[in-house]
Amino acid sequence: MTAVQKVAIAGSGAAALATAIRLAEAGVEVDVFELKAELSTVGSGITLQGNALRVFDSLGVWPRIRELGYPFDGLSIRAPGPGAPVIADLPEVQTGGPDYPAAMGMYRPDLNRVLLERAEEVGVGIHFAAPVTGVEQRGDDAVEVWVNGESAGTYDLLIGADGVHSSVRDMIGIDTKPERTGMGIWRAFVSRPAEVEHSELYYGGPAYIAGYTPTGENTMYAFLVEASQDRAGISSEEAARIMHEQSLAYQGPWESIRHDLEGPDARVNYTWFTSHIVPAPWNRGRVVIIGDAAHSCPPTIAQGAAQALEDASVLSELLVAADVLDESLWNTFHARRLPRAQAVVEASVQLGTWQLEHDRDADAPGLIFGIARQMAELA
């Protein structure tokens, strides 16, 4: 027996689908309600650390993900200017343990597709164009869920995995909100020059950080982090032009990136960094928020998706192992998840703050390695 038999999930990102897969595999009836009309087919890349890869393995999707993405170990730091000299080659901690590479890059829509296919395979009900619009507790052990303004039925639990601007968070009266950290990021999906075999970061020059990560044999994503500005409504041509211009201080593989940015198919997007962490508890009765709904951070150590997946993994493990959904289950969930997510949020924000303040004495490598070693412990 599991602690829940029928669960509704808002969202179809990594947190939602990972939870759905694990619950459905245990025989729980799961409905996933997604606001968007369909799965995104365009997007940028994502860096997935070992502790995320370990969760993919438990979902039965690791072989497919490894095949579609670009696994790698190591991180190089380069300097701006002629020849883009490599100033440090850093070993990376294998946060998923020795069975997984330290990290891998992947095209985001591929990741979403693999998770969605697995969810369908294990019998999850997937509903697109189906925003969760309301929720009402029904006694102590049930919750009624509204989708598109109409009742979708009564469930044992609603999981709000509906992202950084979570509506479910608002619906249950949690008023912690994501706040801008002062940085914004240009990201482009481009071709991979053969010399790029792992993530490389450039500190110095006009951007706070410039870098790229391979996502496949022929692809990678490149990014430039700037002080956040209002870039709303910018055309894709203008976005590519600005990113091209800001990249001129960087050489090496940036020559190839610029070549792609000059082409008619250049795909560039702009996003502000935010951060927040909802203090415990993340649930109100039979509704809980996980993933970016509960915590967000700038991707300075690329742990956001890994933390969302760990939320999913721990929550589904507890729900499957217990017979009842009671306070002790929630206490265990919060004890296992909150300190870890909080450590990631605080370190990610700290790294950004040091850059915004041009603090040259800060021990950024020490902080990054400390967090990586912490993440290597099981969640």
Ligand X SMILES: Cc1cc2nc3c(=O)[nH]c(=O)nc-3n(C[C@H](O)[C@H](O)[C@H](O)COP(=O)(O)OP(=O)(O)OC[C@H]3O[C@@H](n4cnc5c(N)ncnc54)[C@H](O)[C@@H]3O)c2cc1C
Residues lying near ligand X in the complex (CB under 6 A) are found at 10-16, 33-36, 46-47, 131-132, 161-163, 167, 185, 271, 291-292, 299, 302-306, 308
Please, what is the minimum distance in Å from the beta carbon of residue 164 to ligand X? 6
Please, what is the minimum distance in Å from the beta carbon of residue 310 to ligand X? 11
**Please, which residue, 34 or 251, has the CB nearer to ligand X?**
34
**Amino acid of residue 336:** R
**Please, which residue, 71 or 291, has the CB nearer to ligand X?**
291
- Structural contact between residues 39 and 12, judged by C-beta atoms closer than 8 angstroms: yes
**Does residue 138 sit in helix, strand or coil?**
coil
**Amino acid of residue 300:** T
Please, what is the minimum distance in Å from the beta carbon of residue 81 to ligand X? 26
**Amino acid of residue 333:** F
Beta strands in the chain (DSSP E): 6-10, 29-33, 45-49, 70-72, 75-78, 86-90, 103-107, 125-127, 132-137, 143-147, 150-155, 157-160, 179-191, 199-203, 209-214, 219-227, 268-277, 283-284, 287-289, 295-296
**Please, which residue, 34 or 156, has the CB nearer to ligand X?**
34
Within the chain, how many helices (H) and strands (E) appear?
10, 20
**Please, which residue, 154 or 271, has the CB nearer to ligand X?**
271
| 220 DSSP β-pair partners | 190, 214
Distances (CA, A) of 155 to 8, 138, 158, 174: 6, 9, 7, 21
C-alpha–C-alpha distance, residues 252 and 316, integer Å:
45
**Please, which residue, 101 or 299, has the CB nearer to ligand X?**
299
Please, what is the minimum distance in Å from the beta carbon of residue 180 to ligand X? 11
Distances (CA, A) of 45 to 84, 240, 277, 290, 336: 23, 16, 24, 22, 29
Please, what is the minimum distance in Å from the beta carbon of residue 131 to ligand X? 4
**Please, which residue, 12 or 350, has the CB nearer to ligand X?**
12
Please, what is the minimum distance in Å from the beta carbon of residue 107 to ligand X? 12
Please, what is the minimum distance in Å from the beta carbon of residue 46 to ligand X? 4
Number of neighbours of residue 307 by Cβ within 10 angstroms: 31
**Please, which residue, 252 or 299, has the CB nearer to ligand X?**
299
